Copies of this chain bind each other. A is one copy, B any other.
């Protein structure tokens, strides 16, 4: 399974208004606090991998999960393999990775508002210390990557955004650049 995701900087208030006009379905609000880890045996910045422990709070309930992101398989749309599973206790997951020699590299905090529109998930992200962004994403198998990317571009245009402005830098990357 591949995650196809296109992201552009945007004024969230204007995009939210446009989504209302398009009758997109708002599907929820969450707060995500993501701890990214450095590996003891690889330079993730060079191998283009990421290991993350995420705490997500929705309706007052916090859940944690661990995620591994592999290197880009399709650079244009930031497509990469992703493996994620819930964990019972985020602090214990943090401790296990730290005992194994992984070190917390940075923490990304963001408020996210999700919409469904035309088969895509549209996410309005306010990222602490970084800025405001819109992500348009979907999942596909390998053969559907190109079509999914074109569809994501079309959604961006409908939202009054220019796919040419897409940012391929992760929030983690932006945060580290700002540091």
Closest 3 CB pairs of A and B: A86-B88, A41-B41, A85-B92
Interface residues of chain A, those whose CB is within 8 Å of chain B, are: 39-42, 49, 51, 65-68, 70, 81, 83-89, 92-93, 95-96, 99-101
Decide: B96 and A68 in contact? CB cutoff 8 A: yes
Docked pose: A158 CA to B39 CA in angstroms: 48
Docked pose: A63 CA to B63 CA in angstroms: 17
**Contacts A42-B101, A51-B100, A101-B41 known; A86 to B87 CB distance under 8 Å?**
yes
Question: Contacting A68 at CB < 8 Å: which of B49, B51, B89, B100?
Answer: B100
Give the residues in chain B near A40, CB-CB below 8 Å. Answer: 41-42
Give the residues in chain B near A99, CB-CB below 8 Å. Answer: 49, 68, 70, 81, 83
Nearest CB of chain B from residue A1's CB, rounded to whole Å: 11
Decide: B68 and A83 in contact? CB cutoff 8 A: no
Decide: B95 and A83 in contact? CB cutoff 8 A: yes
Docked pose: A49 CA to B40 CA in angstroms: 16
Among A95, A96, A99, A100, the most chain B Cβ lie within 10 Å of the Cβ of: A100
Decide: B41 and A96 in contact? CB cutoff 8 A: no
Nearest CB of chain B from residue A104's CB, rounded to whole Å: 16
Closest B-chain residue to A68, C-beta based?
B96
Docked pose: A92 CA to B85 CA in angstroms: 6
Docked pose: A96 CA to B95 CA in angstroms: 16
